[in-house]
Each structure stands twice: as structure tokens, then as C-alpha cells.
Amino acid sequence: MNLYALLQDRLEKGGPVKVGLIGAGKFGTMFLNQIPTTNGLEVAAVADLDPERARTACRAAGWSVEAMETTAFLNDGADLCRRDDIEVVVEATGNPAAGIRHALTAIEAGKHIVMVNVEADVLAGPALAKRARAAGVVYSMAYGDQPALVSEMVDWARATGFKVVAAGKGTKYLPHYHQMTPGTAWPHYGLTEQEAQAAGMNPQMFNSFLDGTKSAIEMAAIANACDLAVPNDGLLFPPCGVDDLAHVLRPASEGGVLESAGTVEVVSSLERDGRPVYRDLRWGVYVVFEAPNDYAAACFEQYGLKTDDSGRFASMYKPFHLIGLELGVSVLSAALRGEPTGQTRAFRGDAVAVAKRDLKAGEILDGEGGTTVWGKLIPAARSLSEAALPIGLAHNVPLTRDVPKGELVRSSDVQLDETGEAVRIRRESEATLKLNSL
């Protein structure tokens, strides 16, 4: 709880912490918004495929003309990673292949890297984190995004002596959302296409939040960072409000919905008939934990924790997350403490491609949030044994056979370039699970 004090000491003795941002979309712009009011934190360079978009983002975030004149605007993220005036790289493109390339370049250049790009982390996090540790740099999840916030809550529970029963987030979910496409998403956010466009919101990205893909990716990231289990056949998305977390998210043997204790899960803010859940957790995160003994259970009651009917299972939650507005915590933790705000430490969960409709040989998959596939969370061991196609590799690849609606797409069903960087680093990550299984 002294991160800001560390920053002020650093500013006085060694100058500001200098950051490079890759990707000036919504998340990146929210981070840029906080720079003028965070004394001691500076963005030395911003890289985007369209540098003018990056300049527009800075103006929208309230940057002064003077600040923009001292910032470099580039169109190549790899060039940014190699700059001598940057010590922390923030990767916020959302593109898995680009994220892997930028992470590797940053690590090779001796830079800490904060991966807003959860898609890249879930695709190849074990290999990237291992390389960063070997290079003596920090590879970190992005504080403000749900995986890092959940990882913090899990760490809190374990550090205080509690057994973690479940951890995850809330979202808006109904079963038919898995078939949603970018063209049908905006009404579910209460927006018109024009309003979303004016706000700079990417329809395919926001559809991935709706169709379940982003939930699968984020829960895989949490499982891999916290060494938690994942449901064998995908997330259940049980309707659940904050008062009922400890009741619903306990093992089935105890009356809940979980296959076992120590599992990630996402709760829905909608009942299955579409009615809103009372006191929902749509924007928040949670952890459910178990009292180690009767004394702790009595303390739960004495201090007002919401518990299940046995009094043994209790929950803590955070009702909101502010994504890019909170990202400075990760940047400063890496630069000043040499510590990540969450990091892949195991390969427990994987987000894999499932056909949204009957797909025909020759069709081109359009990846996360698109029209062809959605991402489903399954155990990494199952993913490898069934040779499932990771959702992060389901971008712009042709199908070689028909795949019925609802079926897993397998790596053998598409033409993958095994020599490509993203595929090679993915295979490196898969090897970590195979080695640990020996």
C-alpha cells in the first residue's frame, strides 16, 4: 500500500517511470487518460497501426499539446519495444499473434511487459512467462482487467489462510448468446451502431464479451495464474447475485453447482428467462472461500459476511472494475517492485473454438467475437488430448472439413502454419503441460 510513495521517491531520485503503449483502442485510451494526473508516470511512445488514431486518443484523453510533442507516435510495436527510453511495455492490441510478437521482442530487449492482451496470454502464457523469468523481467497481467483483480482476491484469500472454493466474475449471459455475431450485438448493450462507433467500440471485440468467448479467455487466464481447476465441459454461467455467491458457488456435494472446490466460474446477471438477477455482479469479480474451522465460521457470522446456510462458505466481491483507468498499478508494480499483478504459473485451462453454426470446408474462420466460432473453456489436458483448436489460432484460417454447429473445431480441421511464430510459441506452452504430466 505504498506504491504511490515508491513512485514519488523514484521521481525524486531517478526520474519518471517511462512506458510504451502498443494499441490505442478503448483500454489503451483509458490508460492514457490517467497519465496527466499520475505524477511520475510518463508515456514515452505510443504505437498503433494508425498513428493518427493514437494522437486522436491522446487528445480525447485530455493530453496537452506539450505532452504530445514529447511523445513518439509509431506504427510498429516491435520498434517501440526496442526503444532505450522505455522500461515497461503495455501490450493492448487484443491480437494474439501481435501480442506474442511484441512480448517476445520486449523480453528480448529487457523490458517489463504488461499484457492487456489476455488473448495472447491464454494462447501462449506459459512459454512467455517462462521466458520473462529467465530474462529477469516482469511479465504481468493488467490490473483493472478482471483476471488480475481476481488473482489479487485469490492471493488475499490464500495469504490469510482460507481455502479458495471458487473465483471468477459476473457477466450478462443467456445460452443463445453463443450464436451472437458483431451485427447483432449492440442492442444487447443498449446501444445503436452509431453510438458504439462514436465511442470507438470494436463490434467484434464487444461481441466476444457477449458470446461467451471473453469469459472463457479470462477464466482460463485466472485458472492458469492461480492454479485453479476449470469445468470439464465449459462454464455454467449460473444466475447469481452477490448475496448468493457462497450458496451457489460451492461443490455440488455441498448443494452448489461446482464439480469440485477450487474452480473458476462466471455468474450471469440474467435469470434464464431473461429477468434481471437481484443485486447482480455483472461488472464485478468475486472469490468464495471456506472457513478452516468452527471458530473462523463463527467470525464470518460475527462480522457480517454473506455465507451459505452452513456458515462455512463465504464470499468477498468487488462490484466494479475500471480496466485501463487502473492499469498504472501494474506498470508501477513491475517497474518499482519487480512484481507482476498476476502471471501465468500453470497450464490448467484453455479457450477453444466451437462452431457457432454448421461450417463448411473452405470457409475462413474469423476468430474471437466473429460469425463462425465462439470460445469455450475446457481443461488444458482435455484440449491437448482432443487436439482442440485454441480460439487464439482461429483467426483467418481455412477449414479443411465440415464442422457441425456446437462441435469443437480441431487443429486438424484447419490449415495451420506450424512454422508461424504464434503456433511455435503455443506448442512451447503445450510442452510445459506435457512435461508436468510425466
Tens of pLDDT along 405-433?
Answer: 999 999 999 999 999 999 999 999 999 88
Claim to verify: residue 251 and residue 240 sit in the same structural domain? yes
What is the tens place of the pLDDT at every residue in 100-131?
999 999 999 999 999 999 999 999 999 999 99
**Range 323-331 average pLDDT:** 97
Who contacts 160 (Cβ-Cβ below 8 Å, separation ≥6)?
Answer: none
Number of helices followed by number of strands (H, E) in the chain: 16, 14
Euclidean distance between CA atoms 38 and 102, whole angstroms: 25
Helix, strand, coil distribution of the chain in percent, nearest 5: 45, 20, 35
User: How far is 206 from 181, CA to CA, in rounded Å?
Assistant: 10
Tell me the C-alpha distance between 4 and 7, whole Å. 5
Helix (H) or strand (E) holding 89: strand 88-91
For residues 363 and 279, membership in a common domain is answered with no
Instruction: Give the three-class secondary structure for 353.
Output: strand
Confidence category of residue 434, pLDDT binned at 50, 70, 90? low
How would you label 354-366 residue by residue, b for 16+ Cβ within 10 Å and e otherwise?
Answer: bbbeebeeebebb
Number of domains in the chain: 3
Report yes or no on 191 lying in a domain. no
Whether residue 284 sits in one domain with residue 251: yes
Amino acid at 40: G
DSSP 3-state of 58 = helix
Q: CB 33: neighbour CB atoms within 10 A?
A: 17
Q: What is the CATH number of the domain that holds 372?
A: 3.90.1210.10
367: left (phi over 0), alpha (psi -120 to 50) or beta: left
Any domain includes 385: yes
> 198: closest CA among 214, 212, 186?
186
Q: Which domain holds residue 86?
A: 3-144+324-337
Last residue of a domain, one of 278, 302, 337: 337
- Tell me if 71 is assigned to some domain: yes
Residue 435 clears pLDDT 70, i.e. is over it: no
